[in-house]
Structure 1
Amino acid sequence: MRDSYRVPVRDVLEVGGLLKSRILAGQGGQGRTITTVSIVEAPDVLDWVRPHTFVMTGGFPLRHLDPTGGLSTAGLCRFLSQLDDLEVAGLGVQFGTHLDELPPEVLELADELEFPIVSLPADVPFDQLFSQMMVDVAGVQNDVLQRTYELHALLEGLLLEGADVQRIAEQIASVLALGVLVTSVDGRQMAAVMTEEMRAELAEADLYDETGRFRVERIRTPAQTAGGGQLVAEPIVAAGNDLARLVAFAPEHAIGEDVRYALQRAASLLALQITQRQALNVVENKYRGDFLRDVLSGRSKNREHAEVYAVGLGWRLDMPCIVVAAQIDPQDPREEPASTRVRRAWQSRFHLAWTQVVGRESPAYPVADFGDEVVVILSLPEGREDLAAEPAAAVAELQQMVERIVRSVSGDRGGGRRPFSVGTSRLVRGFEQLPAAYQQARRATEVGRRFTGGSSTSHFDNLGIHRLIGLIPDIDELTVFAQDILGELAEETAQATELRTTLQVLLDHNLNVAEASRELLMHYNTMRYRIGKLEKILGPFTTDANLRLNVAVALEVHKIQQ
């Protein structure tokens, strides 16, 4: 039978004629599933027993596992191991004339294998036990089918009504009596139906990072929790695209195969809803992106028209503000190059993450996907409009907001999240300044990545000399400048690298030879020798202030271009 029709041992023992039964050993195996029941009256049972069969027997076949007719502990242990290898659901034993009890070694092995051994009522004939158990199994299966059908019908109705992911999750949780999360592939919550107790237990199991991301990558198979419950994460997939995860949590028991089947059906319907939502988002995001591009490129020159259009999209273009540009960092050369389809999936998740996190600050902040970057316009939060008259305080407030957003989007970098770099503009006080601010944010992202190697947040106002360097569009001219000033120090050799390090430390210490020597753990005379060597290459930078300035700028240009 299919997995969905398998009935856990615990469910069968809780109904009908087996209520008087008790588990002697193998308590941990109550989640094993049953598809049929068999009575064993001869010791050659292994020739025909099938997986997921619950075997019922008496003392006579077990005693005669040994041809001499004596009770063999070794034979019983071997028999139990063979049943376990065949994926038998459990063994029910009716004690009586031929067998009063099982040896302790057999019960210990059952506990170790988590193989249920059940003591059957001695006052009920085998044929009656058999028929009652078959009725019970059929009854549970019927309940499972009915529940799955009801869930499927409910979800189909919700889809036709245009229900969102949250309403669908609520129905799944209600019908299956489970805690439910729907998350993105990297664990960002899309919908949740969880009690505070459930959340606390999952948090105690370290399944949330500090930003609230659910660590869905840790639930690759059904996972037990400390409280004896179980977690299952079903992938939500459509047309080969990995869309999301449906996470189910039973805090006090294992999740049976029947429930997992119902979750798989629910995941299929969720895939339809998410795909439909994504199709609508593509259209909406195009309009949003096109509008914001027009504003940030300077093509939209009418402020009043732009503000009215923004309100129609649910946005506000309040001043003062800053522009934020975020880009996924290039792949490490050691990584296998990702396909276009994979990179698009990364960008889509990246945009979704920024949209959700920025939306928690305020849904009125414009957020758009420009294909290779996500662009945001952040204005002062409600209640802090008084900072508009204090530029320094306004910038500090907005930069703190950016740091919060970046932390939340980054999380612990789990779930397949890609590293990214962020740049922010200067404070914008007028609508006409937005195009320049956008260029500043992009330049801050680019310069910050070049200078740090990636995973950076750079504010245009804090770039220092890099801010001026970043404004020079001709990269080749910068390269020529650095090479002209540094000469052979611009080469990528071990000697040139060592001399550049010495030169940088000297400049950092205002040419104080003693302090530079101490930092480099170098003898004073060795440092004097190196200074002489540097002056032969660069000229008298220790006495010529203009030359020293050129050398310092050239070093910064070289660092950025490495």
Structure 2
Amino acid sequence: MMDAPDIIYYLKPNELLVTTAYHLKDNPHDLLELIKSMVEQQCAGLAIKIKRFLEEIPENALAYANEIGFPIIELPIDISLGEVVNQLLSYILDKRTNELLLAIETHQKFTNHIMSGKGLTSLLRSLSSMIKYPIMLLNKHFRIIGSSHPFSKLSDELGKLYTNGFRFFLPNTSYSCFSIISNREVVSVFPIYTHEENSGCLAVIGMIPFSNPSMILTIEQAANVISFELMKENALKQYTKKVRNEFFINFTEGAFQSQEEVTIKAKEFQIINDQSYICAVGKLDESRTMLSFTESHKEIDTIFEFIEEESHIFSKSIHHFVKGNICILIFPITESWTELNTIILPFLEELQIKIKNRYNRTVSFGLSNLCQQFLDVQKGFREALEALQTGRLSGNRQFIQIYRRKDISELLQMIPTQDLKDFYNETLQKLSDQSIHENQILLHTLFVFLENHCQISETAKKLYVHRNTVIYRLENCEKLIGKSLKDPDTTFRLRLAFRIKNLLHL
């Protein structure tokens, strides 16, 4: 309410100006300019008390107001502006009071609903019956975690958008709407606020009009109650994860006192010992962008949580664990080893694609050999970890490496070269000196002898010499090494020595 000439500078959007038009009494046609300025300021309307200072509203002002749809209200002369303002304020206060009471009642109703143990699904059905729209509760991966009605088709549509890398940039408002072109449905989205940056949303299938504040308020109160319930469920979920991960860490590190103890504790997590398994170990490949320690761990947690959810959707029998910066998936094998190629590898490959599309990160996996029972997973975990390390040493990214048992040459390569040379010289003694031509002949004879399972006749045939010549050379070998060739330990050491000789080109 104001009659100052410079009134336009004090007006704000959505405000209604109540005036006697005193400052326009000498220039009534200036009312048109005031209206134009109010339109620019996005004011709600103009209420003028006529017959006091302004006999009538100019025709050009009325025509312009009608043309653009700007409300002009004529106030009777027998009502004071104070009465008009007081009635308006009383109406606004009564409306806000009723909204506040509705919010309190709605919040209390939904809180009692949860406290009575009826759960989120029952709450969503109750909310849906109140607002007459179907509702679904989506997590941060846009997957349904609760709904008032079945939404399998719509859930698949949203899931595809999310996993293929589409982002839902929702404006910073109480709610927003978007349309799904494939089925021409409008979805009104109300964010769920918890301790996490992105906690999901309450999706109403239909257009919630801004002109219905009571309905919006009802949905917002339900969202508030849901946020507290989700925080409670998340706390319980995190505790369960922590216990499960501690069990697996203790299991792989051999902290339990007996196999029986492992079997009993595994049953707490629905893990059966008499079942074949394959262990997969996953790790994010090195990022090409530098992240802080906190950001890096947050990213790892988010992606590992996504892997866990995808695994659960694929098969509820897959067991998921986290140990530091690696995640572990234990796949039960129900029929045969062929499930690795028909089930496990396709799932992991699809998972890698989804993570690449959604988070722009790559993840690699190492796979163990078949574990005949859960107790063997302790060894299988080491195999999967070693397979992962082998792939990373090759410089690969987004790979799946299957563990391959090492042969003797690969095992020998893991031993320092000097230690191998010392073993070679100690085993062959004087025979290791190949600068002597006779020693070269004796070494070759001894090698052929060992390769032919210590059979003198077979050795003579391979060397094209007489049997007695072989015997004579072998006796000389025994003198030089100071050991009997009939001793199994001696022949075993000699075989290793020859492997070292080939490996190091001695």
- Give the TM-score normalised by the residue count of structure 2: 0.61
Q: List per-residue Cα deviations over 1:227-246 (Å, max 9, x = no partner).
A: 896745535234xx546233
- CA, structure 1 residues 157+220, in 2 after alignment: closer, same or farther (shift >3 Å)? same
CA distance in 2, matches of 1:197, 1:123: 56
1:289 aligns to what? 245
CA distance in 1, matches of 2:409, 2:384: 14
2:109 aligns to what? 154
Match of 1:460 among 393, 402, 406: 402
CA distance in 2, matches of 1:468, 1:166: 60
Match of 2:161 among 205, 209, 234: 209
Figure out how many residues of one structure are paired with residues of the other and give that number.
407
2:357 aligns to what? 412
2:36 is paired with a residue whose SS is helix
CA distance in 2, matches of 1:207, 1:106: 49
- CA, structure 1 residues 150+277, in 2 after alignment: closer, same or farther (shift >3 Å)? same
In the TM superposition, what is the alpha-carbon distance from 1:368 to its structure 2 partner?
A: 1.7
The 5 Å alignment of 1:5-84 reads: 45-46=7-8, 49=11, 52-55=14-17, 61=21, 68-70=27-29, 74-81=33-40, 83-84=41-42
1:244 aligns to what? 199
CA distance in 2, matches of 1:99, 1:199: 59
The 5 Å alignment of 1:513-528 reads: none
- CA, structure 1 residues 395+251, in 2 after alignment: closer, same or farther (shift >3 Å)? same
Q: Would you say the 8 A contact 1:232–1:248 is kept in 2?
A: yes
Q: Would you say the 8 A contact 1:94–1:119 is kept in 2?
A: no
1:443 aligns to what? 386
Q: Which runs of 5+ in 2 are unaligned?
A: 418-502
Percent identity between the two aligned chains? 13
The 5 Å alignment of 1:58-457 reads: 61=21, 68-70=27-29, 74-81=33-40, 83-84=41-42, 88-90=43-45, 97-99=56-58, 117-118=70-71, 137-161=92-116, 164-167=119-122, 182-184=137-139, 186-189=140-143, 191-193=145-147, 200=154, 203=157, 209=161, 211=163, 215-221=167-173, 222-226=175-179, 231-234=188-191, 236-238=193-195, 242=197, 244-249=199-204, 251-255=206-210, 269-297=225-253, 306-316=262-272, 319-332=275-288, 334-339=289-294, 342-380=295-333, 385=334, 387-388=335-336, 391-407=337-353, 410=355, 412-414=357-359, 419-451=362-394, 454=397, 456-457=398-399
CA distance in 2, matches of 1:199, 1:93: 56
1:236 is paired with a residue whose SS is coil
- CA, structure 1 residues 367+94, in 2 after alignment: closer, same or farther (shift >3 Å)? farther
1:5 aligns to what? none
Amino acid at match of 2:382: Q
CA distance in 1, matches of 2:132, 2:416: 65
In the TM superposition, what is the alpha-carbon distance from 1:285 to its structure 2 partner?
A: 2.1
- CA, structure 1 residues 132+47, in 2 after alignment: closer, same or farther (shift >3 Å)? same
Q: Would you say the 8 A contact 2:280–2:365 is kept in 1?
A: yes
Amino acid at match of 1:445: L
Amino acid at match of 1:209: L
- CA, structure 1 residues 424+74, in 2 after alignment: closer, same or farther (shift >3 Å)? farther
- Give the TM-score normalised by the residue count of structure 1: 0.56
In the TM superposition, what is the alpha-carbon distance from 1:425 to its structure 2 partner?
A: 2.3
- CA, structure 1 residues 79+366, in 2 after alignment: closer, same or farther (shift >3 Å)? closer
2:200 is paired with a residue whose SS is strand
1:413 is paired with a residue whose SS is helix
In the TM superposition, what is the alpha-carbon distance from 1:377 to its structure 2 partner?
A: 0.8
CA distance in 2, matches of 1:289, 1:157: 35
2:452 aligns to what? none
CA distance in 1, matches of 2:58, 2:409: 91
RCO (CA 8 Å, sep 6+): is it higher in 1 or 2? 1
Amino acid at match of 2:346: Q
Q: List per-residue Cα deviations over 1:7-40 (Å, max 9, x = no partner).
A: xxxxxxxxxxxxxxxxxxxxxxxxxxxxxxx6x7
Amino acid at match of 1:345: K
1:412 is paired with a residue whose SS is helix
CA distance in 2, matches of 1:252, 1:378: 44
Q: Would you say the 8 A contact 2:273–2:373 is kept in 1?
A: no
Amino acid at match of 2:345: Q
